[in-house]
């Protein structure tokens, strides 16, 4: 098979949550364990860091991978979903898994995995573990797909477990309270493996993590309780100035109000990694923060795609994410002649909750992404009207972008978001795909 034929096979022969949602969700570890045993437990060939959380786990994972790479290690990085190319999910030192490896892996192993009926994510995580072994990585940073306890990645025993934060998302799978969701994410806490929680807002959620740590005879640390950052602020360039206690002045390449909190989680993680014997020079920390996009290929985090008019995209897609996006967008509105919002959402989110957070003083282009889970643009627009938002309905992201660019003045700002998949459809319109 060609690479394109292999992707078609993967997308059509096994359920893909990115496209179809609930019908592709397959909780439990039995299939992952079976695939892992068949391949000879590849994840045991290197050290792993496991990252879960409602929001921020992608940014934290990429930052850690960038810093470890600059510290001289060979680093694997497994994240999801992808935005443009499937291979974004699996990287070594920032370079995507080769097309040939994807094709060969499927061709060599399909007769074994087909009878197991794996989900797309189960097969993809297995492929990542196998590739990282083949590449002889020193470390692999593994981002949880959903939840933690029953996630396909939870077959690993890491040297550090990280849970970035907890808010309501995927409630139909993980539970309808923050405590229930915390329980699922606490499932990545392992015996005798230190655990780190980035943000926690209630005593009841902190108690869930503390009880999980006691049960596993390990310690849990809370980044919010540590003195890691002094006065920090978002500069006009879009970078963060971070006044770190241990590493001096850091400049964070990732924009967005939320990134200072992600930075604090990363700094706490670095302390714990050093406590278990990982050598990380100060210069590696500085370079990792300052060059994370270049070093890892991360996209979609308050990313500027164009100037005049300024076009910004962000993958924030739930209430937790939009609580921060709303703050930043209101600042944008103050300094723009007009703000244009290209937005859409998938139908399994708290859509009303997010719409209530979207700024009222903007012109909207209601649209839908090219995935089955996307809420039809007309339905989304009808809901938006009830929250005081107004604009036009567009058939596709490309149509919305074209209309916004035609309407916008060079002193305006265009924001693209509401869903990871809206951003995924928009990115190819502004950049060349990495081949």
Q: What is the pLDDT of residue 257?
A: 81
Give yes or no: residues 323 and 422 share one domain. Answer: yes
User: What does the pLDDT read at residue 432?
Assistant: 58
Q: Are residues 291 and 330 in the same domain?
A: no
CA 8 to chain centre: 24
Residue 27: what pLDDT?
64
Same domain, 198 and 59: yes
Mean pLDDT for back-to-back runs of 10 residues, the chain (435 residues): 92 59 61 96 98 92 98 97 95 98 96 90 95 98 91 96 79 67 93 93 90 95 88 79 92 88 95 96 97 95 92 90 88 92 88 94 96 92 96 97 97 95 95 51
Distance of CA 40 to the CA centre of its chain: 28
End position of a domain, from candidates 250, 275, 296? 296
Those residues with Cβ within 8 angstroms of residue 37's Cβ, 6 or more apart along the chain or in another chain: none
Is residue 435 in a domain? no
Tell me if 118 sits within 8 A of 106, measured CB to CB: no
Is 102 inside any structural domain?
yes
Contact 405, 309 (CB under 8 A): yes
Same domain, 376 and 243: no
The rounded distance, in Å, linking the Cα atoms of 52 and 420 is 17
Would you say residue 373 lies in a domain? yes
> Is the pTM for the entire model greater than 0.95?
no
H/E element, 222: strand 220-222
41 found inside a domain: yes
Do 252 and 389 lie in a common domain? no
Q: In terms of domains, do 214 and 84 share one? A: yes
Q: Are residues 271 and 327 in the same domain?
A: no
Q: Judge if 340 and 392 occupy the same domain.
A: yes
Cα(103)–Cα(106) distance, integer angstroms: 5
Are 398 and 251 in the same domain? no
What is the CATH classification number for the domain harbouring 81? Answer: 3.40.1190.10
Determine the pLDDT at residue 365: 98
pLDDT at 160: 98
pLDDT of residue 22: 47
Closest among 184, 152, 114 to 33, alpha carbons compared: 152
Last residue of a domain, one of 278, 296, 314: 296
Q: 214 in a domain, yes or no? A: yes
The number of domains in the chain is 2
Domain final residue, candidates 239, 263, 296: 296
- The domain that holds 421 is classified in CATH as 3.90.190.20
Whether residue 88 is found in the same domain as residue 206: yes
Residues 173 and 290 placed together within one structural domain of the fold: yes
Residues 89 and 227 in one domain: yes
Domain residue limits at 393? 303-429
């Amino acid at each position: 098979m060609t690479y394109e034929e292999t992707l078609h096979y993967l997308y059509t022969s096994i359920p893909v949550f990115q496209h179809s949602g609930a019908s592709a969700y397959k909780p439990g570890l039995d299939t992952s364990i079976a695939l892992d045993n068949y391949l000879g437990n590849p994840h045991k060939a290197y050290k792993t860091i496991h990252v879960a959380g409602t929001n921020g786990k992608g940014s934290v994972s990429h930052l850690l991978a960038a810093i470890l790479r600059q510290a001289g290690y060979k680093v694997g990085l497994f994240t999801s979903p992808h935005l443009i190319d499937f291979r974004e999910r699996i990287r070594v030192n920032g370079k995507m898994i080769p097309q040939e490896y994807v094709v060969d892996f499927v061709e060599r192993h399909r007769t074994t995995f087909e009878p197991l009926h794996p989900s797309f994510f189960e097969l993809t995580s297995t492929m990542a573990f196998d590739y990282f072994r083949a590449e002889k990585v020193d470390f692999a940073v593994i981002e949880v797909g959903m939840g933690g306890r029953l996630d396909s990645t939870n077959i690993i025993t890491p040297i550090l477990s990280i849970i970035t934060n907890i808010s309501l998302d995927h409630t139909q799978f993980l539970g309808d309270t923050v405590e229930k969701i915390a329980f699922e994410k606490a499932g990545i806490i392992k015996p005798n493996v230190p655990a780190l929680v980035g943000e926690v807002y209630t005593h009841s959620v902190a108690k869930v993590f503390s009880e999980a740590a006691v049960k596993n005879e390990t310690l849990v640390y809370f980044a919010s309780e540590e003195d890691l950052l002094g006065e920090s602020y978002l500069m006009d360039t879009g970078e963060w100035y971070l006044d770190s206690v241990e590493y001096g002045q850091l400049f964070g390449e990732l924009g967005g109000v939320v990134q200072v909190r992600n930075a604090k989680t990363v700094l706490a993680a670095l302390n714990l990694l050093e406590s278990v014997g990982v050598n990380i020079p100060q210069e590696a920390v500085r370079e990792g923060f300052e060059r994370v996009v270049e070093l890892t290929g991360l996209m979609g985090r308050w990313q500027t795609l164009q100037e005049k008019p300024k076009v910004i995209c962000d993958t924030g897609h739930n209430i937790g994410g939009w609580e921060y996006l709303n703050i930043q967008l209101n600042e944008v509105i103050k300094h723009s002649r007009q703000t244009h919002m290209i937005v859409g959402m998938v139908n399994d989110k708290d859509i009303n909750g997010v719409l209530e957070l979207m700024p009222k003083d903007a012109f909207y282009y209601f649209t839908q992404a090219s995935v089955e889970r996307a809420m039809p643009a007309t339905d989304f627009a009808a809901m938006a009207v009830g929250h005081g938002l107004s604009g036009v309905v567009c058939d596709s992201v490309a149509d919305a972008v074209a209309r916004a660019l035609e309407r916008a003045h060079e002193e305006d700002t265009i924001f693209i978001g509401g869903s990871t998949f809206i951003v995924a459809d928009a990115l190819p319109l502004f950049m060349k795909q990495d081949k």
